[in-house]
Chains A and B, each alone.
Chain A
């Protein structure tokens, strides 16, 4: 990181900001300062008040008390339009793009001074110039729908740069990115800093904080608990402690590795894309035994998700076989696979894992409602279901006002805990978890990992797809690396290193193939 000069007037100064919601103090006299050319990492557990603070900076919320100074001038920011005019732009976790419009159209969409017939050629030229300047590779004519998540994020960044943003707020920018894309993002941010722009980013990933921030600002339960130059922080452990206020288990307790009988057997699995082309899954074979966590590493988009969807019956395969618990389950329906005892923590928790508009209690019973425990001859046992849900909420410490609250009102961590509770409670020997700790804070991540290990210790076969190598090395017994639909290698977790796995993820096999 370049040296930071803190002599000038700070570009952002939030002083003594307090914001209350009914029953909760989201921000309690928080002050925050950002200098020109600075990257500030805003850290805190889910619900610590980071998003609220940032939403006040971009005018979505108004503070109850306290004031905001931009470039030394006192400002009242009433809307995102106001903040944009001040040169502040935010990239939300969920992108605000129109799927069936082009990159260029999205970038200028909603700009006030746009003529009735926008001069697209000129706009595209400007976009191309901007993207060259910051190393943000995009094609202005591409349709958003066809872009990867990383590319969409670049469009979001360009959107802000095009509008002349000087201060960028990024809400968990790398949560959805592959390691490669994250590295690209770092480069982009560095270039922006070199141009005198500043950034605040909200994140949960501590190694990232260490790698590319000047200052760390930690919020805990709505209060600023620490502001420290990154250089003065000893290691990730110290950072994690600052954030949660207690010692975090970084090595998890686990029983001895005692693999049992094969539970998931995949033989020569082939999946072809509709309309032909390079296979999505290219002759994949592996076995997961009971009492074992089998990790799958790889850059997102190399077939991991399709593999898990084939295993859970959501996608059809074109060749090979899947045996689950000894039974042939190739191309069987999701229901017969569930009945075969397979639990699934899906990749996209909002879209696949829960029904947002249904209650926590209903969501918890979505696997077991078919069993005699929760229903009898098709009639649901409502009283029993309530008791069952209450029990799971207690056991998995799901933070919810009540079991009747719609799931969509919970935080990401608690939504994931709801899924975890349902799937683990149902688990009959096989658990397939896809990016289970994505976007979760330290506490929730720890809970997820501990539960996976508990399942393994109790004799389940766990298939864990993750993009975080540390997670895999910490949790898994074996790690397979996927690249372009193939398994590059299967390694023992205690006999491999991040470096070796990283090479395999990039498609480089030792000694050639």
Chain B
């Protein structure tokens, strides 16, 4: 009896949910193998991770605070992916946002204190949009491959940020990092570590859902992503929409950077290349580009990160979180085939389309 794949008549809704969930579980299983190979007890490790992520109110707050930039980056990447524009530069666009807000906080001293935060956030958003707009224009005008440009532009801005906090914008005291933003211009905390950035993130989830699923523009983005040529025949302006979509994607990543630095780091410093932008790719993919589902996925990813921070203290392999994040992607990508295909035994009752 042979087993082979056959195309389904519909996209399976059940599989759309089941595949990411099973991928997550499978990644825990694969992670256990990795742990066993490095002579650590998987059960103890996982239990410590769980405790580290949700073990106390403070830890839950940490996890939620971490989920905010992750969610925003996931949303940012999701917008671009909807267009089949493979923006893997959310990391760089996030950093552009941090640079933008830091610039305002440090040098726009002529502004009244209460204006620093809103203006800083707007500039951060613009920087992010601009950084994403460059590959957008390159793609729209000259079909330059966006995977390369967005990826390369990450390294440019990582280096530039480093130059800024080590050299040009360095605080007089200390050896790296800009001076802290004025405390009055910080994004306030609302519940322990959880800061007001969560309002922005959740509001954006709703707004994006509305734009992508309910408006003409969302419909057009969907058409372009699924069949560019047909969209063009229906009068959709491809170039303009690619650029607009990229600007929106970069703006959201920039917002993530601006929010996280206004609420958590309060400066541009080492660690600005946090990897949130890259994790955003996993979040977008796992959530099936759905903004609401992204919330849940971002929370899981944040838990993996805070959970593995806890491992460090216990002398357990703290890179485990990242390993797990990477491991999720493999079964997820492999498993997505089951959304459109099913396994059948070829001997009897072969199902398929006519």
A: which residues have CB within 8 A of B? 21-22, 24, 26, 47, 49, 52, 61-62, 64, 78, 312, 314, 333-335, 337-339, 344, 346, 351-358, 362, 366-367, 369-370, 375, 378-380, 382, 401, 405-406, 409
B223 contacts A379, C-beta separation under 8 Å:
no
State in angstroms the CA–CA spacing of A401 and B10 once bound together.
10
Residues of B within 8 A of A (CB): 2, 9-11, 214-217, 219, 222-223, 226-227, 229-237, 346-354
Q: How many Å from the CB of A443 to the closest CB on chain B?
A: 17
Chain A residues with Cβ below 8 Å from B350 are 61-62
List the A side residues contacting B349 at CB < 8 Å. Answer: 64
Residues of A within 8 A of B9 (CB): 401, 405, 409
Q: In the complex, A401→B222 CA distance in Å?
A: 23
Q: 15 other contacts beyond A21-B352, A61-B350, A380-B214, with CB at 8 A cut-off?
A: A21-B351, A49-B354, A61-B352, A78-B2, A78-B346, A333-B237, A346-B233, A351-B229, A355-B222, A356-B227, A366-B234, A367-B235, A405-B9, A406-B11, A409-B353
Minimum CB distance partner of B8 in chain A: A409
Nearest A residue to B227 via CB reads A355
Docked Cα-Cα span, A366 to B226, in Å, equals 13
Q: Contact between A334 and B216 (Cβ–Cβ < 8 Å)?
A: no
* A362 contact set on B, CB distance < 8 A: 219
> Once the chains are docked, how many angstroms separate the CA of A138 from the CA of B223?
38
Which B residues are in CB contact (< 8 Å) with A337? 235
Indicate whether A344 sits within 8 Å of B233 (C-beta atoms), given known contacts A21-B353, A379-B215, A380-B216. Answer: yes
The answer to whether A354 and B230 touch across the interface, beta carbons within 8 angstroms, is yes
Leading 7 A-B pairs by shortest Cβ distance? A335-B235, A355-B227, A338-B235, A357-B226, A334-B235, A366-B234, A355-B226
How many contacting A-B pairs (Cβ < 8 A)?
A: 91
Contact of B223 among A47, A312, A339, A355 (CB under 8 A): A355
Q: How far is the CB of B286 from chain A (nearest CB, A)?
A: 19
Once bound together, how far apart are the Cα atoms of A447 and B287, in whole Å? Answer: 43
The answer to whether A355 and B230 have CB atoms under 8 Å apart is yes
Q: How far is the CA of A409 from the CA of B340 in the complex (A)?
A: 11
15 inter-chain pairs at a CB distance below 8 angstroms, sorted by A residue, are A21-B354, A61-B350, A314-B232, A314-B233, A344-B233, A351-B229, A352-B230, A354-B227, A356-B227, A366-B223, A367-B234, A367-B235, A369-B216, A401-B9, A409-B10
Residues of A within 8 A of B352 (CB): 21, 61
Distance (whole angstroms) from the CB of B228 to the closest CB of chain A: 9
Contact assessment for A62 and B346 in the assembled complex, using a CB-CB cutoff below 8 Å: yes
Contacts of A366 in B (CB 8 A): 223, 230, 234
User: Out of B2, B235, B351, which one reaches A333, CB within 8 Å?
Assistant: B235
Q: Which residues of A lie under 8 Å from residue B10 when comparing CB positions? A: 405-406, 409
What is the CA–CA distance of A346 and B2 in the complex, to the nearest angstrom?
41
Q: Is the CB of B216 within 8 A of A358?
A: no
Contact at B230–A370, with CB atoms within 8 Å?
Answer: no
Residue ID in chain A nearest B210 by CB atoms: A379
A358 touches B222 (CB 8 A): yes
A353 near B233 (CB under 8 angstroms)? yes
- Docked Cα-Cα span, A375 to B226, in Å, equals 21
Cα of A338 to Cα of B232 in the assembled complex, Å: 11
- Tell me the complex Cα distance, A64–B219, Å: 43
Most buried by A among B2, B11, B232, B233: B233
Q: Is the CB of B216 within 8 A of A47?
A: no
Query: Taking the nearest CB of chain B, how far is it from the CB of A363, in angstroms?
Result: 9
Min C-beta distance of B47 to chain A, whole Å? 42
Per the bound structure, the CA–CA distance linking A61 and B237 in Å amounts to 43
Q: Which residue of A has the minimal Cβ distance to B347?
A: A62
Q: Nearest chain-B residue to A365 (Cβ)?
A: B219
Distance (whole angstroms) from the CB of B214 to the closest CB of chain A:
6
What distance in Å separates the Cβ of A381 from its nearest Cβ neighbour in chain B?
10
How far does the Cβ of B2 sit from chain A's closest Cβ, in whole Å?
A: 7
- In whole Å, how far is B222's beta carbon from the nearest beta carbon of chain A? 7
CA distance A224 to B170 in the complex (A): 84
With A334-B233, A351-B227 given, is the CB distance from A370 to B351 under 8 Å? no
Which residue in B2, B219, B227 is a CB contact (below 8 Å) of A369? B219
